[in-house]
Structure 1
């Protein structure tokens, strides 16, 4: 509901900046604490907290009350949610999260020197292969890898690309190679 109010304010500017930022804090706090990230729940339908939370962050990212520092925080919230998920996001959540990042990038307020280490952080968790006992080792890498693929496609195919498109594509290619060393390794020679 808060996202709908913020979206209305994005066009009508009816709410003071402090109130929008207070609501932003509530949204991101809920999003990071939400434990049930199932997409479709058989017998109940769509739960989709991961996608709806990303959508709410996307609305915040469009707010004129949100500047570079707040946009950077929103990116960190997305990364934290992506990395900390206990289940694989299978209902399009990585695509919705990538769409939010595109919203941030199109505002052209967060420089590439901030985006690069942010992507490297996600890629670092997306390449953590290894035995973890009884836990599926790909569980920890599935969401970051799916997100990086989604972001690459959205940056590459966008009709209205962000200003940093060319450099960002190179950063994403390296991140994808790092997270997929068995299938995307650089050619030798």
Structure 2
């Protein structure tokens, strides 16, 4: 396996072109072995080159390659601080290109967003992005979350897509970053609202309301909004339900209500159980939000 991986180091990290999945110079057995060895690669250049080459595998229809190898490897290397700033920046650029490309199978975009959440996490832990890069990422992440129209979660054999949840994970890392300012947080809250009560009236069944609640919890922890501002935001969510004359008379209206109540209920429980005063202090605003729902 190491001979296969080593040949990747001959390729330039900056000029490497997508080669498909498995990446050139590897095969499924070698990648399986790498996973068994907890993605240990001693050579920095080999690791960086393979990290960039694994981007294509994020679109692979095989969940064992997509989720179990590509995502897990990239996450392990970033959380282990084993990818340089230059490699992370190149990775970020390639993932943006993946988001811009067509995604007929519906795997590439959600998994690009999920890995971008890990890129964002590295900047939250130890800031390395420029202010311009970070703002561009906030725009990318909010545009992605707002744009999701594929609501498939888990499918037997195909595994996960989970676009809304993966976008929420990306927004979580940005929302909890002290370098992200109030204006950017407002944009994040607007993107979350667009999927808390989705216009397409999809009733969530794969835990999406809980994932959408997590960025809100971390925004609250930062203490950026007043109680009145939170109350306005929560009560404003009910306006997304649509024509009130359709209340309890329309499947789409009922689906939206289902999602909103699931979000508010889960968030209230998390707030109630929190020992953080800022998070616990959300309860009155959440209750106001619940009371605003027909």
* 2:54 alignment counterpart: none
* 2:166 alignment counterpart: 52
- 1:116 paired to 2:116: no
Q: Write the deviation string for residues 107-165 of structure 1: whole angstroms up to 9, x where unpaired.
A: 11122222111101113445942424xx45411211111111111111111133426x3
Shift of 1:66: 0.8
Question: What secondary structure sits across from 1:14 in the alignment?
Answer: coil
- 1:82 paired to 2:196: yes
* 1:7 alignment counterpart: 121
**Structure 1 segment 110-149 matched on structure 2, within 5 A:** 110-125=225-240, 128=244, 129-132=247-250, 135-149=251-265
**Residue 138 of structure 2, aligned match among 6, 24, 29:** 24
Question: What secondary structure sits across from 1:138 in the alignment?
Answer: helix
**Residue 162 of structure 1, aligned match among 252, 261, 278:** 278
Judge conservation of contact 1:94–1:147 (CA < 8 Å) in 2: yes
Cα distance, 1:175–1:64 mapped onto 2, change above 3 Å: closer
CA distance in 1, matches of 2:170, 2:271: 21
CA distance in 2, matches of 1:142, 1:151: 14
CA distance in 1, matches of 2:269, 2:228: 21
TM-score by length of structure 1 reads 0.83
**Residue 43 of structure 1, aligned match among 136, 140, 157:** 157
CA distance in 2, matches of 1:121, 1:144: 11
CA distance in 2, matches of 1:64, 1:169: 24
* 2:266 alignment counterpart: 150
Task: Indicate the structure whose relative CO is greater, using CA pairs within 8 Å and at least 6 residues apart.
Answer: 1
* 1:185 alignment counterpart: none
Task: Tell me the number of residue pairs that the alignment of Structure 1 and Structure 2 aligns.
Answer: 176
Shift of 1:81: 1.8
Cα distance, 1:14–1:176 mapped onto 2, change above 3 Å: same
CA distance in 1, matches of 2:258, 2:241: 7
TM-score by length of structure 2 reads 0.55
CA distance in 2, matches of 1:175, 1:151: 11
CA distance in 2, matches of 1:14, 1:171: 35
* 2:14 alignment counterpart: none
CA radius of gyration, larger in: 2
